A and B are shown apart, each in its own frame.
Chain A
Amino acid sequence: MTPPEARNEAWLRAALAARGLTLRPEDAAATLAVARFLAEAAQRLREARA
């Protein structure tokens, strides 16, 4: 389950590192914007299933 802290850059950086990926500094803001949208989408799905 996507945790609330997934909206945080440090969390995303760690999640990527766990997969062998690096968040490039120049991509951080844009990636985090998409990640926040996805975290909200996941939250919406949880609420719909509740």
Chain B
Amino acid sequence: MTAPPAPPVPPVAEAAAALRSGRLTAAGLLARHRARIAALDGRIRAVWAAVPGAEALAAAADAELAAGRDRGPLHGIPLVVKDMVDVAGLPTTNGSRAADPTPAARDAAVVARLIDAGAVPLAKVATYEWGFVGPDMGLAHPPAANPWNPDRITGGSSSGSAAAVAAGMARLAIGSDTGGSIRAPAAYCGVVGVKPTRGRVPGDGCCALSPLLDTVGPIAATVAEAALMLDVLAPGVGSAAGLHLGVRGLTLGYGRAWFAADPACDPRVLRLLDDAASALSLAGARIVEVALPDYVLMEAAGAVMIHVEGLRLHLPSLSMHGERWGRMATQTVQAGAVLTEDDLARAAALVPDLSAGVDAALSDCDALVTATTLTPAPPFAAFDRGAVWTPMRTLPFNVTGHPALSVPAGFAGGLPVGLQIVGRHGDEAGILRVAAAFERATGHGAVPLPD
């Protein structure tokens, strides 16, 4: 006898309409999420823990709608939470055996905002250890697998967030991004990931990796769903309202040379991104090639920040409980011992110039488009002998603080590729508008998984 089918969970707008018409309850919607997880997660390994209060939140959402209280577009909508973000009543494992096992006393600020908007956190999902590096096979949980090909990595560190959304277990997920940890897994898994402007979304209750760079944001199946979630995480952004505006009349700077000249760039990725620029042009945007600041220098500044701050933050745990740490995270954090506080100060002193360089590229453009990653998701086998550098173009915008997102841009060898869109500080609405136009023009968003 075969198990009953568990289809992907419905899009947020479809579920929201069904909740309000009485065709669906929040409790029933939550059960559909749980059924999808039960059917697929044995292979995907995205979900680490169920949130025990989810059923009560769903019941409360149903009772409120029945009583005429509507909290908005996310009322009754389930979502998953990266396990570096506190959910009251559950320990935040940060993917590490060395984490404090005490359950979180309160929700992280972003979780609280989503619950206040009626959303229902249903599960904690996978992360690379402390958000640093992976996939590490020696941890308490094996790493999440890419839903498009389980032999491939998801990228990280928001590995479970991207995998769960790509696998149709949820439409929405909370992720965090210090050097690309939202955008890279979103690109590798074929979903949308948004790193807001630094400081736009509160990080209280989220494990710090590098406070100079850390940013919390949404991962979602489509641009519209990411916008709905971002508008809750960062009230006042108002990104959902402008998604219909299109790109006609906009000027988009294509940072092509910034990634195409890198020998690590897969030619199939370059072709897809050239096609993406063409699609935006056909949709009415003016495309101009732009020069961006020296990538290697931006990466150097970001790497120094992450490793000095990472070692400073984790030294107590590593010195007291080092035997509980995984090997990849240990190697990465300990390597930071070659750096000094002077190196960090030097990196921080470069930020205004680097940021001004990106601002200059944006001075005649409404947004920039470039690569998220330079290859599709690598195979797990590539990591058999330890951490491997995976080429991408995400860290610079953590350094400068500009908002950036990744949106699906097609497939190379059956694996998703992402287009990165970067905007002026505070202009999340602008980059989501471009992403929505791109999604409409190409149909690359929310492509169903093969059976």
Partner of A31, one of B296, B335, B340, B342: B335
A-B contact sample (12 more), CB < 8 A, given A7-B338, A20-B315: A1-B343, A19-B311, A20-B319, A21-B322, A24-B330, A27-B327, A30-B328, A31-B334, A34-B331, A45-B346, A45-B350, A49-B346
Other-chain residue from B297, B307, B350 in contact with A38 (beta carbon distance below 8 A): B307
When each residue 387-420 of chain B gets 1 if its CB lies under 8 Å from chain A and 0 otherwise, what string results? 1000000000000000000000000000000000
CB neighbours of A41 from chain B (8 A): 299-301, 303-304
Neighbouring B residues of A22 by C-beta, 8 Å: 322
Are A45 and B301 in contact, CB atoms less than 8 angstroms apart? yes
Q: Does B349 contact A (CB under 8 A)?
A: yes
| Closest chain A residue to B386, Cβ basis | A30
Give Cα A9 to B275, complex, Å.
46
Could you give, for residues 337-380 of chain B, a 1 whenever the CB lies within 8 Å of some chain A CB and a 0 otherwise? 11110110011011000000000000000000000000000000
Indicate which residue in B304, B307, B336 contacts A45 across the interface (CB closer than 8 Å): B304
Q: Within 8 Å CB of A44, what residues of B?
A: 296-297, 300
Closest 5 CB pairs of A and B: A34-B335, A41-B300, A6-B338, A35-B335, A20-B319
Q: How far is the CB of A48 from chain B (nearest CB, A)?
A: 6
**Is there a chain A Cβ closer than 8 Å to B65's Cβ?**
no
With the chains together, A41 CA to B187 CA distance in Å?
26
Mark each residue of chain B from 307 to 338: 1 if its CB lies under 8 Å from any CB of chain A, else 0: 10001000100110010000110111011111
Across the interface, which residues of A come within 8 angstroms of B327, CB to CB? Answer: 26-27, 30
Q: A2-B339, A49-B346 are in contact. Are A42 and B332 (CB under 8 A)?
A: no
Q: How far is the CB of B26 from chain A (nearest CB, A)?
A: 46
Contact with B along A4-22 (1 / 0, CB 8 A): 0011000110011001111
Task: List, in ascending order, chain A residues with CB within 8 A of B299's CB.
Answer: 41
**B347 to chain A: which residues have CB within 8 Å?**
45
In whole Å, how far is B75's beta carbon from the nearest beta carbon of chain A?
Answer: 46
Contact: B303 with A2, CB < 8 Å?
no
Q: Jot down 24 A-B pairs with beta carbons below 8 A, ordered by A.
A: A2-B338, A2-B339, A2-B340, A16-B334, A20-B315, A21-B318, A21-B322, A21-B337, A22-B322, A23-B334, A27-B327, A27-B334, A30-B387, A34-B331, A35-B335, A37-B303, A41-B300, A41-B303, A41-B304, A42-B300, A44-B296, A44-B297, A44-B300, A46-B346
List, in ascending order, chain A residues with CB within 8 A of B330's CB: 24, 27, 31
CA distance A44 to B335 in the complex (A): 17
User: Given the complex, which residues of B lie within 8 Å of A30, measured CB to CB?
Assistant: 327-328, 331, 386-387
Q: How far is the CB of A7 from chain B (nearest CB, A)?
A: 8
> With A30-B387, A48-B350, A49-B346 known to touch, is A21 a contact of B334 (CB < 8 Å)?
yes
- A45 and B300 contacting across the interface, CB-CB below 8 Å: yes
Q: Which residue of B lies closest to A18 (CB)?
A: B337
Choose one: B315, B332, B342; the contact of A1 (CB below 8 Å): B342
Question: Which residues of chain A have C-beta atoms less than 8 A from B297's C-beta?
Answer: 44-45, 48
What is the CA–CA distance of A38 and B335 in the complex, to the nearest angstrom? 8
B348 nearest CB neighbor, chain A only: A45
Given A37-B303, A38-B303, A45-B350, also A15-B338 (CB < 8 A): yes
